[in-house]
Amino acid sequence: MKRIAMLILLACVPCWAQTSTQGHPATSNITGAEFPKVYSDRRVEFRLKAPDAQKVQVQIGGATLDMVKSADGVWSATSEPQVPGFHYYALVIDGVAVNDPDSKTFFGVGRDYSGIEIPEAGVDFYALKEVPHGEVRELWYHSKTTDAWRRCFVYTPPGYDANVRSRYPVLYLQHGAGEDETGWIRQGHANFILDNLIAAGKAVPMIIVMDRGYAAKPGQPVSTVFGPGAAPVGSPESLKVMKDMSEVFGTVVLDDLIPFIDARFRTIANRDSRAIAGLSMGAMQSFQIGVGNVDSFAYIAGFSGAPMGFVFGGNQLDVKTAFDGVMSDSAAFNKRVHVLFVGVGTAEAERFHTGVESFHKALDQAGIHTVYYESPGTAHEWQTWRRDLNEFAPKLFK
């Protein structure tokens, strides 16, 4: 009996030791915060001191976990192993979803939200590495279309300031619904992805412009789709908001943003040196703006999204007649658009996976050449989109 107890003890010590010692504070934590802690098997332990709360939960990866209160009033819960990448999450204190005070915040789901970074073993294409780094610039410009000031972020590649005679191609890169112009840097690490690709000689040095995908005619209210008072996402009202907004946004891009960027930066200001890409709602916008304006863009990509008529919007779109019939002559279109990239995660919800796949198939059947990329094991999340960008950027401007 003693011997069995001893064996159990011996067997358990390593388990316990693994759990308690192989965890690390998430890199998305604020400085000094021990929790959330990510274990080597990608389970995450969350904690919150809340002696007077009746119930505390954590919402992550589609699950809601009840946290358990200790004698000292600290609540804790450990999640199932998480998929690598970046996940939004919330703590729920007596029914109210709030940020974890120990997490940095990231604008998503219409507000500043907690997020957690789960490392992917052996993968560092989006990490800050010992390579030359570009800059990310915050700029304000006035839009005639909206009669308002707008903020955009611009990545300039390493050497941009030193090589004063060089001109650069430009990728316009859009966030998803409920996110904003900060998303591709803060959540996506687009700057590090490009720094690393350029250092490895895999991508040409390029400028990336990240604008705010929300726009409204002068005096009209602007919605962030997920924000307060917004209609349920996917509802007809919400789709109409997205559609109307994206039309105005398309005008902003063509009439205000591109002229501003071409005037301010040393761009190569022609279609062969201009790309547009986006994720989810941004994918919808990129197809609409890019395919709708092939005089302005020669490279077009959508990550986890498709034009209205796929994913959202009911009827399937006829790609032959859509966009003023620009794809009806597939040979001409294929010659004109150098890369049409369609990406999706294999673990996305049915609606997205089927919607994007259907769009890809429709293009195929119409004789339109595409690059189709499936991100293995990832859902409608930033790891999918980081991988998409890492796949798409090397195909640009060559």
Interface residues with a second copy (CB under 8 A)? 30-34, 48-55, 93-99, 101-105, 110-112, 128, 130, 133, 135-142, 149, 161, 164, 185, 191, 214, 221-224, 227-230, 264-265
Rank residues 196 and 370 by Cβ distance to a second copy and give the closer one: 196
Give the strand pairing for 371-375 and 339-345: parallel
Rank residues 48 and 311 by Cβ distance to a second copy and give the closer one: 48
Q: Smallest distance from the beta carbon of 120 to a second copy, in angstroms?
A: 20
Q: Smallest distance from the beta carbon of 184 to a second copy, in angstroms?
A: 13
Q: Smallest distance from the beta carbon of 227 to a second copy, in angstroms?
A: 4
Q: Is 94 exposed, middle or buried (0-12, 13-18, 19+ CB in 10 A)?
A: exposed
Rank residues 98 and 200 by Cβ distance to a second copy and give the closer one: 98
**Tokens 């040979």 sit on residue:** 331
CA-CA distance, 286 to 273, in Å (whole number)? 16
Rank residues 249 and 299 by Cβ distance to a second copy and give the closer one: 249
Peptide bond into 36 cis (omega under 30): yes
Q: How many other CB atoms sit within 10 Å of the CB of residue 325?
A: 12
CA-CA distance, 111 to 164, in Å (whole number)? 39
Could you tell me the CA-to-CA distances from 67 to 47, 48, 165, 300 in Å, in that order?
Answer: 8, 9, 58, 45
Is residue 350 within 8 Å of 371, Cβ to Cβ? no
Q: Is 9 exposed, middle or buried (0-12, 13-18, 19+ CB in 10 A)?
A: exposed
Q: Smallest distance from the beta carbon of 373 to a second copy, in angstroms?
A: 28
Rank residues 230 and 371 by Cβ distance to a second copy and give the closer one: 230
Rank residues 222 and 294 by Cβ distance to a second copy and give the closer one: 222
Q: Smallest distance from the beta carbon of 102 to a second copy, in angstroms?
A: 6
Q: Smallest distance from the beta carbon of 5 to a second copy, in angstroms?
A: 37
Tell how far CA 69 is from the center of its chain: 35
CA atoms within 13 A of residue 62's CA, in its CB half-sphere: 9
Question: In which region does residue 132 sit, left (phi positive, over 0), alpha (psi from -120 to 50) or beta (all else)?
Answer: beta
Rank residues 125 and 141 by Cβ distance to a second copy and give the closer one: 141
Rank residues 142 and 398 by Cβ distance to a second copy and give the closer one: 142
Q: Smallest distance from the beta carbon of 345 to a second copy, in angstroms?
A: 27
Rank residues 109 and 317 by Cβ distance to a second copy and give the closer one: 109
Nearest residue to 356 (alpha-carbon basis) of 395, 335, 323, 385: 385
Q: Is 301 exposed, middle or buried (0-12, 13-18, 19+ CB in 10 A)?
A: buried
Q: Smallest distance from the beta carbon of 339 to a second copy, in angstroms?
A: 29
Q: Smallest distance from the beta carbon of 149 to a second copy, in angstroms?
A: 6
Rank residues 110 and 188 by Cβ distance to a second copy and give the closer one: 110
Q: Smallest distance from the beta carbon of 36 to a second copy, in angstroms?
A: 12
CA-CA distance, 8 to 85, in Å (whole number)? 36
For the chain, the C-alpha Rg in angstroms (whole number) is 23
Three-state SS at 394: helix
DSSP string, 55-76: -EEEEETTEEEEPEE-TTSEEE
